[in-house]
Homo-oligomer: A and B are copies of this chain.
């Protein structure tokens, strides 16, 4: 890398590319109200210095945004199926009390609920259980099926979806965990087979692994 002193016009070009990139040299020239040939040497210099990158058929990009684009691409390549945890599921007829005990034993924030054919029928969170526990009813007699969030209101994720998409669903719907499901089509109906659990904990763990400088190969 060599040292160059930036002139006023270099700063103007950098600002434009930062804001509008990817952008062609024609578009930059037009925004500056000058001819394309007048900025050719400036663009060459900014590209040589590493501040801009010229992508064929795309245009000029600010290198800072490209690095962030690479990070985004990296994250978007990691799939839910690479990270998912073992699911914890019970039948709709299980009592709320037994669900609480299981939640403590397994130390999970959400339990998935299935019908008798073992397809996903609902989900129950710590919040749901807490609400039932202070509600005054007999939680030994009350089945979880009464207080669970029921399909189709359960937000699910497929193993092939990027973890970024799963994280977006978690934030958007303000939930802690997603059932990871395969869709089964039978007699024109869709059923969901539970194949995993994906939660904020999985994302936090991934975050630590990516941020760990001593780490080795991550997900290769």
A95-108 Cβ-contact flags toward B at 8 Å (1 or 0): 00100100110010
Could you say which of B74, B127, B134, B210 contacts A126, with CB atoms under 8 Å apart? B127
Assembly of this chain: how many copies? 2
Structural contact, A211 and B75, CB atoms closer than 8 A: yes
* Most B CB within 10 A of own CB, among A67, A213, A218: A213
Which residues 198-220 in A have Cβ within 8 Å of B in the complex?
200-201, 203-208, 210-213, 215, 218
Structural contact, A210 and B70, CB atoms closer than 8 A: no
Structural contact, B204 and A167, CB atoms closer than 8 A: yes
Chain B residues lying within 8 Å of A174, measured Cβ to Cβ, are 107
Interface SS of chain A: helix
Q: How many residues of A contact B (CB 8 A)?
A: 47
CA distance A200 to B70 in the complex (A): 24
Could you say which of B127, B212, B218 contacts A104, with CB atoms under 8 Å apart? B127
A68 at the interface (CB under 8 A from B): yes
